């Protein structure tokens, strides 16, 4: 997508989980478009390396902050640090997540807590802490939360993630109404499969699994990181100021294929189609 090169000039964005995967891809694009960044995660070296590489590639400023978003106190300190360095924050991207693919009955309560803590509590703590600062300062702000396509309808085998992402979506829509009048805009992106090490290694380690995943996508390919990064750039920019409380799906049509009762018919051979037609026409007689 072509954007004005200064689309995000003067903006400061805090991206949770910004040292890897989609978070890093969004960060790189925001930097190219003129934003300054703070990125957080739990692993200091990953963050430091990412920050150095991003600045080397695109210039600009990236502040790495070690923070476990499950710790509300640490989230408060992170926001103070980034705010003090840049004199404010304009954009929050709730991107940090954890996921466990497992039959639900195999999970311990600690496993459930780990995922819900990162995804739901973490996104809520960041949004709450920054929202309070924005309201207090009378500043505008944008919150973009990265959810999943199953946030709407749930998904077997990733149930803590589905429950938590549904919560993040509910938070997004609720705050869009509550905080919108005071200049805080909240939206979400629901990505289909995008090749990142964090998601792939945990959820699709076997190439066969990836093949099956691609089979479900009408466009027959996973998303490219830049496609998601461009959508995110638009949604955090001033150009999308009238979009509030929305969740934009970017999945090559995967979710709709899953919802269509007859979508499985894509598997039929031409002979099977011919037989089906003959049999259906035959019912007239």
Please, which residues have CB within 8 angstroms of residue 43's CB and are 6 or more apart in sequence? 19, 66
Among 20, 32, 127, 237, binds ligand NAP (CB under 6 A): 20
Gap between the Cα atoms of 227 and 57, Å rounded? 19
Handedness of CA 60, 24, 148, 208 (dihedral sign): positive
Asked whether position 194 contacts ligand NAP by CB under 6 A, the answer is yes
Judged by CB under 6 A, which stretch of 20-28, 83-91, 209-217, 257-265 contacts ligand NAP? 20-28
- What is residue 108's three-state secondary structure? coil
Residue 198: partners with Cβ closer than 8 Å, 6 or more residues away: 20, 21
Nearest to 235 by CA among 40, 80, 3: 3
46 contact partners, CB below 8 Å, separation of at least 6: 19, 20
With CB under 6 A as the contact rule, the residue among 95, 99, 121, 249 that binds ligand HXC is 99
x-marked contacts with ligand HXC along 175-214 as a string, rule CB under 6 A: ------------------x----xx--xx-----------
Determine if 76 is a binding residue for ligand NAP (CB under 6 A): no
- Write the CA distances from 246 to 67, 143, 188, 221, integer angstroms: 28, 11, 6, 25
Select 110 or 284, whichever has its Cβ closest to ligand HXC: 110
Taking CB under 6 A as the criterion, the residue among 114, 128, 250, 263 binding ligand HXC is 114
How big is the CA angle at 214 (ends 160 and 27), to the nearest 5 degrees?
Answer: 65
Determine contact, residues 5/34, Cβ cutoff 8 Å.
yes
| Site for ligand HXC contains 72 (CB under 6 A) | no
17 counts as binding ligand NAP under rule CB under 6 A? yes
Residue 107 binding ligand HXC, by CB under 6 A: yes
- Minimum distance, C-beta of residue 190 to ligand HXC, in the bound complex (Å): 10
The neighbouring-strand residues paired with 37 are 13, 62
Q: Is 125 a catalytic residue?
A: no
Nearest CB to ligand NAP, comparing residues 32 and 121: 121
- CB nearer to ligand HXC: give 115 or 126: 115
| Site for ligand NAP contains 252 (CB under 6 A) | no
User: Given the rule CB under 6 A, which residues bind ligand NAP?
Assistant: 16-17, 19-23, 40-43, 46, 67-70, 95-98, 118, 122, 146, 148, 191, 193-194, 196, 198-199
Active-site positions read 150
């Amino acid at each position: 997508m072509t954007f004005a090169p200064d689309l995000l000039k003067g903006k400061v964005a805090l991206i949770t989980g910004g040292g890897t995967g989609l978070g890093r891809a969004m960060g790189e694009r925001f930097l190219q478009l003129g934003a300054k960044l703070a990125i957080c995660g739990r692993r200091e070296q990953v963050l430091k390396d990412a920050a150095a590489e991003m600045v080397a590639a695109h210039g600009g400023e990236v502040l790495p902050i070690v923070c476990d978003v499950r710790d509300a106190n640490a989230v408060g300190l992170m926001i103070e640090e980034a705010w003090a360095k840049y004199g404010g924050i304009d954009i929050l991207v709730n991107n940090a997540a954890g996921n466990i693919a497992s039959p639900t009955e195999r999970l311990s309560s600690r496993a459930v807590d780990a995922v819900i803590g990162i995804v739901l509590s973490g996104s809520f703590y960041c949004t709450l802490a920054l929202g309070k600062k924005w309201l207090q300062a009378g500043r505008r702000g944008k919150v973009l939360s990265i959810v999943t396509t199953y946030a709407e309808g749930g998904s077997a085998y990733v149930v803590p993630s589905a429950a938590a992402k549904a919560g993040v979506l509910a938070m997004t829509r609720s705050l869009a109404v509550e905080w919108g009048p005071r200049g805080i805009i909240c939206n979400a992106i629901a990505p289909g499969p995008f090749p990142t090490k964090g998601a792939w290694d945990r959820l699709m380690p076997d190439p066969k699994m990836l093949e099956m995943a691609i089979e479900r996508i009408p466009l027959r390919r996973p998303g490219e990181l830049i496609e998601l990064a461009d959508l995110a750039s638009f949604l955090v920019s001033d150009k999308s100021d009238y979009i509030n409380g929305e969740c934009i799906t970017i999945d090559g049509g995967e979710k709709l294929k899953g919802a269509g009762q007859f979508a499985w018919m894509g598997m039929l051979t031409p002979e099977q189609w011919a037989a089906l037609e003959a049999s259906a026409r035959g019912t007239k007689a």
